[in-house]
Structure 1
Amino acid sequence: MLIILPLLTALSSMPAMASSYSSSERRTLQSAISSALHSAEINRYYQQCREQPTEGEIAVIQTDKEQSRMLAMLQSKVHTQDLNLLLAADNKLTNQVKHGINTPTDCQDTKALQTLIDNYEVALFSLDIAMPLEQQLISKASSAKTQANAQQQEVNKTIADSHAIALVTVVSKQQLNAVQQANYLHPDYESNYVFKVMYGWQGHISHYLGMHISVADNEINTIPKQWLIFLDKNGHFIKAISADKAITYLNVLSDAQWRYDVYGNLHRN
């Protein structure tokens, strides 16, 4: 007796795409996934339960007779016949549909086979009346590339919009004497911590400046100690990123254009 294995056991490890769908689109996607999975189960049954030909005869393999219609509807409704792409479009939904399909337990389980075929017809009907997706499905690789391009554009725009960019460290305000505090900090600046500028790009800024956030003494150990900061021409913060998360920006900026030495003197590279 031949036991029918569950369909596509590897589906649980497939990557989900970061996509969102409307309610009607999710119904369309569910119908498409259900149709594809039912067709695959039917083909699997016929493949594993085919009769062995007698000597001299040619093996005849029965397949899902509705497969061509199913693929045509997939093209019409979800704009692809790529089953791997379809099943990866929503990992959670695919697994929900997969677990709801009852498959024959063996090659003699014709009742379960008929139920599988009947449910397949229901899935095809549901797909036939479903509204097409507004946008094409895209692969995880394409989605990742699009996201990476958008992030790179954001990096380039932030750099282009900045008058000055600097790598800074967080230090105690007590490192500055009264004259320095008066020169570098706003009179209303109350935090006990400031930024000490190490080096930077484009326009230069003063050796010390107030932070973009207020940090209490009991919070100092919870924040990053180095930041990459972006300022406009008026010295206002455009963005501040902890140094450990700024590698993409630093790669674009490359070598620093100016720096402060240990004595606080400004040098242009």
Structure 2
Amino acid sequence: MIAPLLLSLAMSSTAGYSQTELRTLQYAVNSYAYSTSLEQFYRQCNEQDPEQYMVKQPDNTRLHSLLQLQLQLDVEQFISYVNANPKFQQRVPDDITLTDCTNHAGYQRILDRYELELFALEIATPVKVSKQSPESQRKQNQQLKVKQAAELLERSKAVAMVSIVDRNSLSTLEQANFLHPEYKGRYIYKVDQGWRNIPSRYMGMQSYLTDQQFAASPKNWLLLLDQHNQFIQVFSEANAKTYLNLLGKPEWHFDIQGNLQRR
């Protein structure tokens, strides 16, 4: 089985690429995989007994030309991106390894598939793949994350770090004071600290959690709220690092007695 091949794009996601362009990239990865399999098979059999097996060396000239034409990459650049960057992963067929030098039918089957993939690549929609280094791409991706985070924070009137607690930890009076009468969920948000406007100390969640979901989910979250304390976005603490870095130290928090303390 050939391991998954990795192809780097300009972004870590598929945003900005149409489905036809993504298919072009898949054809290129598949073609390279078939080419590699045939090349390895040729070398193996040639080393054993070239006169007995007479396996023909694959001609990769067409593949190299198509990589340049359709992706604007030479073969060295393409191989470098395939091997070096795990941002975009495509799996190739897992039945293309050849080991038996007498298996002419198997060799022909892989060769036919290789030709089909090359034809598909030839008529596919061209794609311009980024030639940035992986480090440059990481920096660009991080800059994009910061920009997107800053835009969301600009829209947020209140930002709060919260924990998920059982509503039954509140008294009946506290539940009546803090929770909407129609909120039926067992689990709620407890506001611990935050920035800008101060929301209610306890809040209903945007969706109800089952006991199993509660047990498996992160317990600390970052809430981005609008002027009506409606959810703009919700992030687990592990996924909120960019936002927390932009926000800096909390401007207020609730102490252990539930009293509001400002910085």
TM-score by length of 2: 0.62
1:93-172 alignment, distance < 5 Å: 93=92, 96=95, 98-99=96-97, 127=118, 130-137=122-129, 141=134, 145=138, 148=142, 150-169=144-163, 170-172=165-167
Aligned AA (1:201): W
Task: Give the Cα–Cα distance (whole angstroms) in 1 for the partners of residues 209 and 35 of structure 2.
Answer: 57
Aligned AA (2:220): Q
Alignment-derived partner of residue 195 in structure 2:
201
Other structure's SS at 1:12 match: coil
Contact 1:35 1:124 in 2 (8 A): no
1:237-256 CA-to-partner distances (Å, cap 9, x unmatched) read 22233334433432332210
1:69-108 alignment, distance < 5 Å: 71-80=64-73, 81-82=75-76, 83-85=78-80, 92-93=91-92, 96=95, 98-99=96-97
Other structure's SS at 1:198 match: strand
List alignment gaps of at least 5 residues for structure 1: 1-8, 51-63, 106-111
Which of these residues, 225, 229, 250, is aligned with residue 244 of structure 2?
250
Aligned AA (2:64): L
List alignment gaps of at least 5 residues for structure 2: 51-56
Task: Give the Cα–Cα distance (whole angstroms) in 1 for the partners of residues 256 and 233 of structure 2.
Answer: 26
Task: Give the Cα–Cα distance (whole angstroms) in 1 for the partners of residues 221 and 111 of structure 2.
Answer: 57
Residue 76 of structure 1 deviates from its aligned partner by 1.7
Matched, 1:185 2:179: yes
Other structure's SS at 1:93 match: coil
Task: Give the Cα–Cα distance (whole angstroms) in 2 for the partners of residues 151 and 15 of structure 1.
Answer: 22
TM-score by length of 1: 0.61
Say if 1:165 and 1:27 are closer, same or farther in 2 by CA, change over 3 A: closer
Say if 1:239 and 1:33 are closer, same or farther in 2 by CA, change over 3 A: same
* Structure with the greater alpha carbon radius of gyration: 1
Name the stretch that deviates more: 143-152 or 205-214.
143-152
Contact 2:5 2:91 in 1 (8 A): no
Q: Percent identity?
A: 23
